[in-house]
Chain A
Amino acid sequence: MNTKINTLLEALSTVIYDKQPQVKLAICSLLCKGHLLIEDLPGMGKTTLSHGLAEVLGLTYQRVQFTSDLLPADITGSTIFNTDKQSFVFHEGPVFTQVLLADEINRASPKTQSALLEAMEERQVTMDGQTHHLPEPFFVIATQNPLHQSGTHPLPESQLDRFFMRVSLGYPSKDAEKKLILGDHGRKTTLTQLMELGTLSELQSAIDEMEIKEQVVQYILDLVSFTRESGLFKDPLSPRASIALGTASKAWAMIHGRNYVTHDDVQAVFPAVAGHRLNLDATEQFRIIDDIYAQVPVQM
Chain B
Amino acid sequence: MKLNQIACSLIYLLLAWIMSSDLGFVIVSYITGLFIAYELNRIIYKKTITSSIINGSALAGIALLMGFVGVKNSVAFFVAMMLLASLLKIYQAQSDRQTMQVFVLNFFTIPCLFIFSQNFFSALLVFILIGVNLALMLIHQYEFSPREAIKNAFSKLALTIPISVLLVLFIPKLPAFWQLPGPNSAKTGLSENVDPFEISKLSESNELVFRSIFPKERNVEGPFYWRALIHDEFDGTRWNMSSLQSVSANYQASDSSHSYTIIAEPSHLKWLYTLEKMTTEQDLVATNVFGLPYRKRPVSSAFEYKVYNVVDTQDSSITRWQYRQNIQLPSDLNPQAKALAEQIDKQSNDTAEFIALLRDYILAQGFIYTLNPPISQSNDKIDEFFFNSKAGFCGHYASTVAMMMRSVGIPARLVSGYLGGELNPENNYFSIYQYDAHAWLEYYVPNQGWLELDPTAWVSPERLNGSLSQHSQLSEELKSNIGMTLMGFSDVALVNWLRLQLEAFDYQWTRWVLNFDDQKQSSFLKSIFGEKAKILSGIAVIIGLSLLFACVYWVLQRGSRQPIPLPVKLLRKLQVSAFGEFDNTKTPGQIILTIQSKYPKLEAELNNFLCEFEKVRYGNKNELEELKKHYLALTKQIKKQ
Interface residues of A (CB under 8 A from B): 211, 213, 216, 258-264, 267, 293-300
Q: How far is the CA of A213 from the CA of B588 in the complex (A)?
A: 15
Residue in A258, A294, A295, A300 whose beta carbon sits within 8 Å of that of B588 in the complex: A300
B241-249, B600-608, B616-624: which lies at the interface: B616-624
State how many angstroms separate the Cβ of B372 from the closest Cβ of chain A. 61
Q: Find out whether the CB atom of A262 lies under 8 angstroms from the CB atom of B588.
A: yes
Q: Find out whether the CB atom of A263 lies under 8 angstroms from the CB atom of B589.
A: yes
State how many angstroms separate the Cβ of A264 from the closest Cβ of chain B. 4
> What band does the interface of chain B fall in when counting residues whose beta carbon is under 8 Å from A?
10 to 19
Residue in A258, A259, A264, A297 whose beta carbon sits within 8 Å of that of B585 in the complex: A297
Q: Which residues of A contact B147 (CB under 8 A)?
A: none
Q: Which residues of B contact A213 (CB under 8 A)?
A: 617-618
Q: Find out whether the CB atom of A263 lies under 8 angstroms from the CB atom of B143.
A: no
- B641 within 8 Å of A (CB atoms): no
Instruction: With A211-B619, A211-B620 as known contacts, state yes or no: A258 contacts B587, CB within 8 Å.
Output: no
Q: List 20 A-B contacts (CB under 8 A).
A: A211-B619, A213-B617, A216-B618, A259-B619, A260-B614, A260-B618, A260-B620, A262-B587, A262-B614, A262-B618, A263-B588, A263-B589, A264-B589, A267-B589, A297-B584, A298-B587, A299-B584, A300-B587, A300-B588, A300-B617
Residue of A nearest to B567 (CB): A300
- B590 within 8 Å of A (CB atoms): yes
Residue in A216, A259, A264, A299 whose beta carbon sits within 8 Å of that of B590 in the complex: A264
State how many angstroms separate the Cβ of B620 from the closest Cβ of chain A. 6
- B586 within 8 Å of A (CB atoms): yes
Q: How far is the CA of A296 from the CA of B619 in the complex (A)?
A: 23
State how many angstroms separate the Cβ of A158 from the closest Cβ of chain B. 32
Residue of A nearest to B590 (CB): A264
- B571 within 8 Å of A (CB atoms): yes
- B568 within 8 Å of A (CB atoms): yes
Q: Find out whether the CB atom of B618 lies under 8 angstroms from the CB atom of A298.
A: no
Q: Which residues of B contact A263 (CB under 8 A)?
A: 587-589
Residue of B nearest to A297 (CB): B584
Residue in B587, B615, B619, B620 whose beta carbon sits within 8 Å of that of A264 in the complex: B587
Going nearest first, the 5 A-B pairs with the smallest beta carbon separation are A264-B589, A263-B587, A260-B619, A260-B618, A297-B584
Residue of B nearest to A267 (CB): B587
- Proximity string of chain B (565-594) to chain A, C-beta cutoff 8 Å, 1 when within and 0 when not: 001100100000000000011111110000
Q: Find out whether the CB atom of B588 lies under 8 angstroms from the CB atom of A264.
A: yes
Interchain pairs with CB closer than 8 A, number: 49
- Proximity string of chain B (115-147) to chain A, C-beta cutoff 8 Å, 1 when within and 0 when not: 000000000000000000000000000010000
State how many angstroms separate the Cβ of B200 from the closest Cβ of chain A. 61
Q: How far is the CA of A219 from the CA of B601 in the complex (A)?
A: 32
Q: Find out whether the CB atom of B585 lies under 8 angstroms from the CB atom of A293.
A: yes
State how many angstroms separate the Cβ of A207 from the closest Cβ of chain B. 16
Residue of A nearest to B592 (CB): A264
Q: Which residues of B contact A295 (CB under 8 A)?
A: 143, 585
Q: How far is the CA of A259 from the CA of B619 in the complex (A)?
A: 7
Q: Which residues of B contact A294 (CB under 8 A)?
A: 585
Q: Find out whether the CB atom of B619 lies under 8 angstroms from the CB atom of A258.
A: yes
Q: Which residues of A contact B585 (CB under 8 A)?
A: 293-298
Residue in A211, A267, A293, A297 whose beta carbon sits within 8 Å of that of B618 in the complex: A211
Q: Which residues of B contact A299 (CB under 8 A)?
A: 584
State how many angstroms separate the Cβ of B110 from the closest Cβ of chain A. 29
| Residues 592-641 of B at the A interface (beta carbon under 8 Å) | 614-615, 617-620
Residue of B nearest to A300 (CB): B568
Residue of A nearest to B589 (CB): A264
Q: Which residues of A contact B590 (CB under 8 A)?
A: 264, 267
Q: Find out whether the CB atom of B584 lies under 8 angstroms from the CB atom of A261.
A: no
Q: How far is the CA of A132 from the CA of B615 in the complex (A)?
A: 46
Q: Find out whether the CB atom of A258 lies under 8 angstroms from the CB atom of B617.
A: no
Q: How far is the CA of A299 from the CA of B564 in the complex (A)?
A: 10
State how many angstroms separate the Cβ of A250 from the closest Cβ of chain B. 12
Q: How far is the CA of A258 from the CA of B589 in the complex (A)?
A: 15
Q: Find out whether the CB atom of B571 lies under 8 angstroms from the CB atom of A258.
A: no
Residue in B143, B568, B586, B614 whose beta carbon sits within 8 Å of that of A258 in the complex: B614
Q: How far is the CA of A263 from the CA of B620 in the complex (A)?
A: 16
Q: Which of A259, A264, A300 has the most CB of B within 10 A?
A: A300
State how many angstroms separate the Cβ of B625 from the closest Cβ of chain A. 19
State how many angstroms separate the Cβ of A245 from the closest Cβ of chain B. 14
Q: How far is the CA of A124 from the CA of B245 in the complex (A)?
A: 109
Q: Which residues of B contact A259 (CB under 8 A)?
A: 619
Q: How far is the CA of A113 from the CA of B617 in the complex (A)?
A: 44
State how many angstroms separate the Cβ of A175 from the closest Cβ of chain B. 23
Q: Which residues of A contact B614 (CB under 8 A)?
A: 258, 260, 262
Q: How far is the CA of A258 from the CA of B611 in the complex (A)?
A: 10
Q: How far is the CA of A31 from the CA of B551 in the complex (A)?
A: 55
Instruction: With A258-B614, A260-B614, A262-B614 as known contacts, state yes or no: A298 contacts B586, CB within 8 Å.
Output: yes
Residue in B584, B589, B620 whose beta carbon sits within 8 Å of that of A262 in the complex: B589
Q: How far is the CA of A300 from the CA of B592 in the complex (A)?
A: 14
In the complex, besides A258-B614, A295-B143, A300-B571, 6 extra interface pairs with C-beta distance below 8 angstroms are: A211-B619, A262-B617, A263-B588, A293-B585, A295-B585, A297-B584
Q: How far is the CA of A212 from the CA of B615 in the complex (A)?
A: 12
Q: How far is the CA of A259 from the CA of B620 in the complex (A)?
A: 9
Q: Which residues of A contact B584 (CB under 8 A)?
A: 297-299
Q: How far is the CA of A264 from the CA of B571 in the complex (A)?
A: 15
Q: How far is the CA of A211 from the CA of B567 in the complex (A)?
A: 18
State how many angstroms separate the Cβ of A199 from the closest Cβ of chain B. 24
Q: How far is the CA of A300 from the CA of B585 in the complex (A)?
A: 10
Q: Which residues of A contact B617 (CB under 8 A)?
A: 213, 262, 300
